[in-house]
């Protein structure tokens, strides 16, 4: 089973927490700290899931989502926005950009992995 997640996140604390929680549940995390790096590596990683911070330096998460969605190799790979944006309409903006889900920061350690895994069919119950 593909247990790779591409985590696109520029904030070190957020990256650390998400990585810790997911690795504890058997996921392998590949990091990209900005959009351009994510776009050049995503297809080669063949991730089961992509977690995408929206507030990124330079190229924001909406642009990254649209660019990821333009890559045929990533067809069918869920993109989950993980964002501290909490403005009305942000969820819709994420979906319009090609995301499949939306999780608000701050990350809740008690629910984060379960929420993520709802987007990866067949992986629930594999938790270590
Ligand atoms: Mn950020």
pLDDT in tens, 100-109: 999 999 999 9
Q: What is the pLDDT of residues 32-81, one digit of tens each?
A: 999 999 999 999 999 999 999 999 999 999 999 999 999 999 999 999 99
Q: What is the pLDDT of residues 8-26, one digit of tens each?
A: 999 999 999 999 999 999 9
Ligand 1: centre distance to CA 57 (Å): 7
Predicted local confidence at residue 122, as pLDDT = 60
Ligand 1: centre distance to CA 94 (Å): 15
Ligand 1: centre distance to CA 68 (Å): 18
Domain ranges of the chain: 1-7+46-119
Ligand 1: centre distance to CA 54 (Å): 6
Predicted local confidence at residue 126, as pLDDT = 44
Please tell me the distance from the alpha carbon of residue 104 to that of residue 113, in angstroms, as a whole number: 13
Ligand 1: centre distance to CA 86 (Å): 14
Ligand 1: centre distance to CA 7 (Å): 11
Percent of the chain predicted with pLDDT > 70 = 92
Ligand 1: centre distance to CA 6 (Å): 15
Ligand 1: centre distance to CA 126 (Å): 29
The answer on pLDDT for 124 being more than 80 is no
Predicted local confidence at residue 120, as pLDDT = 87
Q: Residue 103 — φ and ψ, nearest 5°?
A: -125, 130
The structure's pTM equals 0.92
The answer on pLDDT for 94 being more than 80 is yes
The CA-atom distances, in angstroms, between 97 and each of 49, 56, 62, 72, 121 are 16, 15, 6, 15, 22
Ligand 1: centre distance to CA 116 (Å): 18
CATH code at 1-7+46-119: 3.40.50.2300
């Amino acid at each position: 089973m593909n247990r790779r997640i591409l985590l696109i996140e520029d904030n070190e604390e957020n990256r650390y927490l998400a990585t810790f929680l997911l690795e504890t549940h058997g996921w392998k995390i590949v990091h990209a700290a900005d959009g351009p790096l994510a776009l050049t590596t995503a297809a080669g990683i063949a991730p089961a899931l992509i977690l995408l911070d929206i507030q990124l330096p330079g190229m924001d998460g909406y642009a990254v989502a649209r660019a990821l969605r333009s890559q045929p190799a990533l067809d069918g790979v869920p993109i989950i926005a993980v964002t501290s944006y909490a403005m009305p309409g942000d969820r819709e903006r994420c979906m319009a950009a090609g995301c499949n889900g939306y999780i608000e920061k701050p990350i809740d350690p008690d629910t984060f992995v379960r929420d993520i895994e709802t987007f990866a069919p067949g992986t629930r119950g594999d938790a270590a």
